[in-house]
Amino acid sequence: MVRGTHLDAVIVGAGFAGLYQLLCLRDRLGLKAQVLEAGGDLGGTWYWNRYPGARCDSESHAYRYFFSRELAEEWESTERYPGPAEIRAYLDHVARKFDLRRDIRFNNRVVSAQFDEAAKHWRIETESGERCTATWLVTAVGCLSSANVPTIPGLDAFKGRWYHTGQWPHEGVDFRGKRVGQIGTGSTGIQAAPVIAETAAHLTIFQRTANYSVPARNAPLAPEFQRWTREHFEQIREIAQSTVNGHAFRIEERNVADVTPAERQAIYEAAWEKGGLQFRATFKDLLTDRAANATAAEFLKARIRATVKDPATAEALADIDHPYSAKRPPIDTDYFETFNRPNVTLVNLRKDPIERITLQGICTRTQEHPLDIIVFATGFDALTGPLLRMDIRGRGARSLREDWKAGPETYLGLQVPGYPNFFTITGPGSPSVLTNMPVAIEQHVEWITDCIAHARRNGVQTVEPLADAAREWGERVQEAARATLLYDAKHSWYFGANVPGKPQVFMPYAGGMHRYRKICEGIAAQGYQGFVMARA
């Protein structure tokens, strides 16, 4: 239930971003604020993503809030990478500690928000028809929360069950004795397949784009490491807040060409043994120099060939068409080993594309694959999807869906021209998905909080960016991407390429979290340059 008719602030979403934004606006600024959340409980991404094998790719000691040392001392992570249940428990702990639940309304999906120019506030409506108004509207809807179920003819008539990994049933899915088809081999599919294969009668994996993966090497955390992370809270925070990606490890200063081939091989082997996203931090030019990147790519392809016993399957898995890390690099637990199981088959969609779904299964060009269950590990309508699912209207009832037809236009990924008092936490145009998310979230939440505090102190009624500032920022976002190999993988979801009809624009800011943080700080210090702060 939406309480009251007018609020100072409405925050949409109760994940990492929404909780911290509520805490900042309510307890630090004293605002009457409320969170509206579509799900039945806290968690955001982790409320919905409960598929088999789901686990965060960021390490536990970095995938957390850094605003409170006390909080860090109270919370004990149990594994190297947190799973969805542990993340939800952590957020529940945060909500209890700061008494946040009393201002969160669950099962309230926001469907529309319109800026009322005369009253200078937002009119917000939920799916059930509840209405409220708010001076400030902050979206904390996540970047990967709008499921992408591809339109494949025949799905409606499929006699079996089908699921999208991002909308997984809370009671789980029983794969025992079932013939399962999994479409998608991104981070999610790579996590899910080994676990599904353990119980399914047969698992057929439909691969469109072959992918690199590095072992995650998840394990219970040793008490000494847990103690170390508590004792080194400030150092870990300092690293996480000053690195390119917001992780608690630094990218090595060396280039690939600085070492001999033998040294390079030893470095890659050590990183492989260590496991995780740190593999891409072994050399500083991996994402900027094609030849450098090719050495990592070859190392990883050789690992696939050495692991997968069937040569044709190994070749299909190693036939990767983009530089390492140019698409989001997955980490895994026994993914390639899974293809050595007798109950697992790979279908290479590049050679044998899906034509339709039949009553009994999936029909590719050459054959029908009979299935009881189809798992869509097909990703998300990333970054813009969760925002555009709502009908957001700014000045003159202009529509965000219309304004972003050719791609998102934001200033710093924080605000949109023509949409006053509207802030987008980790919105398109900010580092967002290229980072360890909680670090990017904290930076945005604190910046937004300071901006609102500044506006209130100065009698400012509306804050919105200049159109020119947004246009120039958009150019900087493209420029930053072009300086990296991320720009080479035109078929990645960073460009929106996974959703048919979506404009092909590189969406996140690839210039680095450390640089972005300084840009935002500088803009605020110069009196919010590029923003219009209107008093009337």
Positions in the binding site for ligand NA7 (CB under 6 A): 144, 150, 183-189, 208-209, 328, 349, 377-380, 433, 491, 493, 498
Dist CA 398 CA 282 (whole Å): 47
By C-alpha distance, which of 188, 195, 158 is closest to 174? 195
Q: How far is the CB of 275 from ligand NA7 (least distance, A)?
A: 16
Q: Whose Cβ is closer to ligand NA7: residue 45's or residue 449's? A: 45
Judge whether 469 and 462 are in contact, CB under 8 Å: no
What are the Cα distances from residue 139, in Å, to 198, 225, 496? 39, 36, 20
Helix (H, G, I), strand (E, B) or coil at 321: coil
Q: Which is nearer to ligand NA7, 9 or 281 (CB)?
A: 281
- 378/421 with CB nearer ligand NA7: 378
Least Å distance, CB 81 to ligand NA7, is 12
Say if strands 354-357 and 361-364 run parallel, antiparallel, or are unpaired.
antiparallel
What is the rounded distance in angstroms from the CA atom of residue 407 to the CA atom of residue 506? 9
Q: How is residue 401 written in tokens?
A: 């869906």
Residue whose CB is less far from ligand NA7, 186 or 420? 186
Q: Which of 292, 375, 380, 376 is nearest to 328 (CA)?
A: 380
Judged by beta carbon, residue 95 or residue 141, the one nearer ligand NA7 is 141
Q: Side-chain half-sphere of 241: how many Cα atoms within 13 Å?
A: 16
Q: How far apart are CA 300 and CA 366, in angstroms?
A: 30
Smallest distance, Å, CB 374 to ligand NA7? 11
| Cβ within 8 Å of residue 115, ≥6 positions away | 121, 122, 123, 393, 394, 395, 419, 420, 421, 422
What is the rounded CA–CA span in Å between residue 425 and residue 76? Answer: 27
Residue 133 or 188 having the CB closest to ligand NA7:
188
Q: What is the DSSP letter of 217?
A: -
Give start and end residues of each alpha helix (H) in 281-361.
Answer: 290-307, 311-318, 335-338
| Pick 110 or 433: Cβ nearer ligand NA7 | 433
Angle at 498 between CA 495 and CA 499, to 5 degrees: 100
Nearer to ligand NA7 by C-beta: 167 or 241?
167
In the bound state, the residue with its beta carbon closest to ligand NA7 is: 186
For the bound state, the minimum distance from the C-beta of residue 524 to ligand NA7, rounded and expressed in Å, comes to 28
Task: Kindly tell me which of 289 and 334 has the beta carbon lying closer to ligand NA7.
Answer: 334
Alpha-carbon gap, residue 342 to 371, rounded angstroms: 17
DSSP result, 458-473: TT--EEEE-HHHHHHH
Six token digits for residue 188: 């999610």
Specify the residue, 34 or 182, whose C-beta has the smaller distance to ligand NA7.
182
Least distance in angstroms from the C-beta of 99 to ligand NA7? 31
Residue 429 and residue 420: Cα distance in Å, rounded?
18
**536 and 439 Cβ atoms separated by less than 8 Å:** no
Other CB atoms within 10 A of residue 430 CB: 29
Virtual torsion, Cα 38, 88, 215, 165, nearest 10 deg: -30
Q: Least distance in Å: CB of 150 to ligand NA7?
A: 3
Q: How many CA atoms lie within 13 A of 86 on its CB side?
A: 18
Q: How far is the CB of 181 from ligand NA7 (least distance, A)?
A: 11
Which of these, 102, 108, 95, lies nearest to 1 by C-alpha position?
Answer: 108
For ligand NA7, the closer CB: 113 or 180: 180
CB of 297 to ligand NA7, least distance (A): 16
- The residues near 138 (Cβ < 8 Å, ≥ 6 apart) are 9, 10, 11, 12, 21, 25, 422, 423, 424, 425, 448
CB of 92 to ligand NA7, least distance (A): 22
Is the Cβ of residue 421 or residue 498 nearer to ligand NA7 in the bound state? 498
Q: Which two tokens stand for residue 217?
A: 């090497």
CB of 328 to ligand NA7, least distance (A): 3
Query: Least Å distance between CB 136 and ligand NA7?
Result: 28
Tell me whether residue 183 or residue 314 sits nearer to ligand NA7 (CB atom): 183
Amino acid at 151: T
Smallest separation, CB 244 to ligand NA7 (Å)? 16
Task: Compute the least distance from the CB of residue 264 to ligand NA7, in Å.
Answer: 27
| Residue 510 beta carbon to ligand NA7: minimum distance, rounded to whole angstroms | 15
Query: By C-beta, is 194 or 418 nearer to ligand NA7?
Result: 194
